[in-house]
Structure 1
Amino acid sequence: MVDIRWGVLGAARIARKAVVPAIRRSGAGEVVAVSSASGRAAEFAADLGIERHYASHEELLADPDVDAVYVPLPNTEHARWSIAAARAGKHVLCEKPIVQGLAELDAVEAAAADAGVQLAEAFMYRHHPQLARLRELLDSGAIGRLVTVESSFHFVQGRQEPLDIRLRRDLGGGALNDIGCYPVDLLGWLTGSEPDDVGVVAHRDVPDGANTRVAIAARYGELTANLHCSLDAAFRADARLHGSEGTIHLPDAFRADVRGGTARIVVERGEERTVVEVDGDQYGAQVAHFAERVRTGTPDPDDAALTRRTAATLERITKAASL
């Protein structure tokens, strides 16, 4: 087995708390380097026991001992550094949303194809086995014909100083890009399509600031959907799928890791209510899947197609509400 040597572009909290530990416990390789333009790389490396640290991303990308990179930079920097990494011959796992629109996605995919490297968007929830179980339930007719979907992702974002990047519009911040992309991605996965119709309303705490609440109404063929996200409501990350004969509730749709990896699937038909628990390590499965792609040189066209649907839909929502 080839041991993948990882570099991390940016000393982000998600890398420290979730992705670096996932790489180590899943057998997805070894984290050998980290870079930070803000001067935090040395501390990050020391805290996590990483051998090398660089004061610039260019230095890390020039390291011949790095095979793949994880990119948890601000949203507006994702395309730029994914392209740079690909051109440096590094495989790229980039945080969601991987791009700010289809033009950027075209450029990123072209760079990866030209360099012959693997490229993936880090939507970790896609890799939890609850989705496979959900598909089995839907295909078996557990709730009849799927009619409408409600999905929400909320949490209370503290207003730290200096301003958190989640609230910086100039860095691609806002509720939609940070967490609203999850319900959008889920609908793209469920339907295999982009919406036919979209209506959007949004709220900003300050004029011309980042969106802090977004509500989306969408139609995918005969299926309707209501999607919500906010940075100022109590935590919730769920989905309800309403069918002609029942309902499936996913209370842990996107953050099963909060419950130690256990996701609940609640099926209701009339007076009957069944709870199925599905265990999984979505961060570990995500990096393990990517590492296997790197080792075998095997692309994942279904995953890439979902990334494109989500990018197209997010771009459409952004334009509709001038976000």
Structure 2
Amino acid sequence: METNGWSVMGTDTIASEHMVAAIRAIGHDPHWVISRSKDHAKYFSIDTGIPNSSTDVNKALKDPRVVFSYVNTILARRGYYIAAACAAGKHILCDGPISSSSKNARTLVAEVNRAGLVLAVNEPHRASTIHQAMRRLLLEGEIGKLQSLIVIRGSPSSHPQNEEAKRSATRETCFSIFRSTTSTWRAF
């Protein structure tokens, strides 16, 4: 039996443009794509050549070919997918951060450790030149006191990639980083 299968949980740009190809480049096979949107899962599956798509995470996690789960979804859903994959005995690669709360992150890490599994965190934007420039400007005080930062990746028509989906897609991927005046913020 094949022991290098993956589920891809989420249909974001990083997965479609980089991670599915990276999974295949190491000789592994993505078998499932999971999304809360049936259409996004279907179009992502077609665009990336992943044979199965669903909105039901348990379908993918019950597949005996799936050993690894790549979590590429909105921050609010990452904990759910990490916990589900952990409960199913799957090793996990997740885009960082894994949670908006350090308490929740510690709980997820402890849960994965107790299960004897691996949780690896992918920080896909850390080395981005735009992020490095923002970091430098922040550290040098060039832009003053940071109150809010929004980084937009893609556009309303850039995802999903499928032509049929492009006609109906209206979403864009936004990452927001907020800093309150009382919290400590670590620049990238």
Is TM-score (shorter-chain normalized) higher than 0.5? yes
Higher Cα Rg, which structure: 1
| Secondary structure class of the residue paired with 1:67 | strand
Match of 1:108 in 2: 108
- 1:50 corresponding residue in structure 2: 50
Offset at 1:3? Answer: 5.2
Residue 37 of structure 1: SS of its match in structure 2? Answer: coil
Unaligned runs of 5+ in 1: 128-148, 167-172, 178-199, 203-314, 319-323
Alpha-carbon distance change, 22 to 97 in structure 1, aligned in 2, over 3 angstroms: same
1:29 aligns with 2:28: yes
The DSSP-based 3-state class of the residue aligned with 2:64 is coil
Does residue 38 of structure 1 match 2:22? no
Deviation at 1:159, TM superposition (A): 7.4
Q: Secondary structure at the match of 1:94?
A: strand
Residue 49 to residue 110, structure 1, CA distance change in 2 (3 Å): same
Map residues 58-207 of structure 1 onto 2, 5 A cutoff. Answer: 58-124=58-124, 150=136, 160=156, 162=170, 164-166=172-174, 173-174=175-176, 176=177
Answer whether contact 1:75 1:97 (CA < 8 A) is retained: yes
> How far apart, in 2, do the equivalents of 1:46 and 1:124 lie?
24
Does structure 1 conserve the Cα–Cα contact (< 8 Å) formed by 2:41 and 2:54?
yes
- Tell me the TM-score normalised to structure 2 length: 0.68
Alpha carbons 1:37, 1:57 under 8 Å: kept: no
Deviation digits for residues 22-55 of structure 1 (CA, Å, limit 9, x no counterpart): 2222x15111211122012222222222122223
Letter in 1 for 2:52: R
Q: Distance in 1 between matches of 2:125 and 2:172?
A: 24
What CA distance in whole angstroms lies between the structure 2 residues aligned with 1:101 and 1:316?
A: 13
What is the correspondence of 1:201-216 to structure 2 with a 5 Å cutoff?
none
- Retained in 2: the 8 A contact 1:74–1:165? no
Match of 1:5 in 2: 5
AA partner of residue 185 (structure 2): I
- Measure the CA separation in 1 of the matches of 2:96 and 2:19: 13
Question: C-alpha separation between the residues in 2 aligned to 1:23 and 1:158?
Answer: 22
Corresponding position of 1:221: none
Question: Partner letter of residue 90 of structure 2?
Answer: K
Q: Quick one: distance in 2 between partners of 1:157 and 1:16?
A: 13
Question: Residue 112 of structure 2 aligns to a residue in which SS?
Answer: helix
Tell me, yes or no, if the aligned pair for 1:91 and 1:119 is still in contact at 8 Å.
yes
Equivalent position amino acid for 1:53 in 2:
S
TM-superposed CA distance for 1:19, in Å, is 0.5
Letter in 1 for 2:34: S
The alpha-carbon deviation at position 62 of structure 1 amounts to: 2.0
Cα distance in structure 1, aligned partners of 2:58 and 2:115: 17
Q: Count matched residues.
A: 155
TM-align CA RMSD: 3.3
Structure 2 partner of 1:283: none
